[in-house]
Amino acid sequence: MSKLRAERLYKVFGRRPDEAVARLEGGTDREELRAQGTTAAVIDASFDVEAGQIFVVMGLSGSGKSTLLRMLNGLLEPTAGSVHFDGRDLTGLDPRDLRRVRSHEISMVFQHFALFPHRSVLENAAYGLEVQGIPRAERIKRATEALELVGLGGWERSWPDELSGGMQQRVGLARALATDADLLLMDESFSALDPLIRRDMQDQLLQLQKRLKKTIVFITHDLNEAMRLGDRIAVMRDGRIVQIGSAEDILVTPANDYVASFTQDVDRSRVLTAGAIMTEPAEVLGTTTDDGTELRTERDVLTAAPATVTADTPIIELFTPCSRSGVAVAVTDDDGSLIGVVSRARLLAVLGEPDGGPEDTRPDGTGPEGPERPGTPEGKVISGA
Ligand SMILES: Nc1ncnc2c1ncn2[C@@H]1O[C@H](COP(=O)(O)OP(=O)(O)OP(=O)(O)O)[C@@H](O)[C@H]1O
Ligand SMILES: [Mg+2]
pLDDT above 80 (res 328): yes
pLDDT of amino acid 365: 38
pLDDT of amino acid 332: 94
Q: Exposed, middle or buried, 227 (CB in 10 Å: 0-12/13-18/19+)? A: buried
The string of pLDDT tens digits covering residues 253-282 is: 899 999 988 888 777 887 788 888 889 998
The string of pLDDT tens digits covering residues 11-25 is: 999 989 999 999 999
Give which of 211, 246, 198, 221 is closest to 55, Cα–Cα: 246
pLDDT of amino acid 326: 60
Question: Cα separation of 360 and 267, whole Å?
Answer: 19
Task: Decide whether any atom of ligand 1 lies within 6 Å of the 37 Cβ.
Answer: no
Under DSSP, the state recorded for 101 is H
Residue 29, C-beta contacts closer than 8 angstroms, at least 6 positions apart: none
Question: Cα separation of 198 and 15, whole Å?
Answer: 40
pLDDT of amino acid 114: 78
Cβ(35)–Cβ(28) below 8 Å:
no
**Domains of the chain, with CATH numbers?**
51-74+87-234+244-249+257-268 (3.40.50.300), 269-385 (3.10.580)
Question: Cα separation of 58 and 47, whole Å?
Answer: 14
Q: Which of 42, 43, 66 to mutate to test the pocket of ligand 1 (most atoms within 8 A of CB)?
A: 66
Cβ(162)–Cβ(118) below 8 Å:
no
Between 239 and 196, the more confident residue is 239
pLDDT above 50 (res 358): no
Distance from the alpha carbon of residue 189 to the mean position of ligand 2, in angstroms = 10
80-85 vs 4-13, strand pairing mode: antiparallel
pLDDT of amino acid 185: 95
Distance from the alpha carbon of residue 66 to the mean position of ligand 1, in angstroms = 7
The string of pLDDT tens digits covering residues 30-63 is: 999 999 889 999 999 999 999 999 999 999 999 9
Hey, what amino acid is at 372? Answer: E
Q: Exposed, middle or buried, 277 (CB in 10 Å: 0-12/13-18/19+)? A: buried
φ, ψ of residue 232 to 5 degrees: the values are -135, 150
The string of pLDDT tens digits covering residues 171-199 is: 998 998 898 899 999 999 888 888 888 88
**Could you identify the atom of ligand 1 that is nearest to the CA of residue 221?**
25
Instruction: Quote the mean pLDDT of the chain.
Output: 85
pLDDT of amino acid 1: 83
pLDDT of amino acid 201: 85
Give which of 53, 371, 35 is closest to 234, Cα–Cα: 53
**Could you identify the atom of ligand 1 that is nearest to the CA of residue 59?**
21
Question: Cα separation of 178 and 62, whole Å?
Answer: 31
Q: How many CB atoms lie within 10 A of CB 189?
A: 28
Question: Could you tell me what percent of the chain has a pLDDT over 70?
Answer: 90
pLDDT of amino acid 290: 79
Residue 294, C-beta contacts closer than 8 angstroms, at least 6 positions apart: 286, 287, 288, 300
Q: Which protein residues have their CB within 5 A of the ion that is ligand 2?
A: 66
Q: How many CB atoms lie within 10 A of CB 284?
A: 21
The string of pLDDT tens digits covering residues 370-385 is: 333 333 333 222 222 2
pLDDT of amino acid 361: 38
pLDDT of amino acid 113: 65
Mean pLDDT computed over 331-353: 85
Question: Cα separation of 123 and 136, whole Å?
Answer: 10
3-state secondary structure at position 215 = strand
Nearest CA to ligand 1 atom 28: 62
Give which of 181, 188, 241 is closest to 215, Cα–Cα: 181
Beta bridge partner(s), residue 108: 185
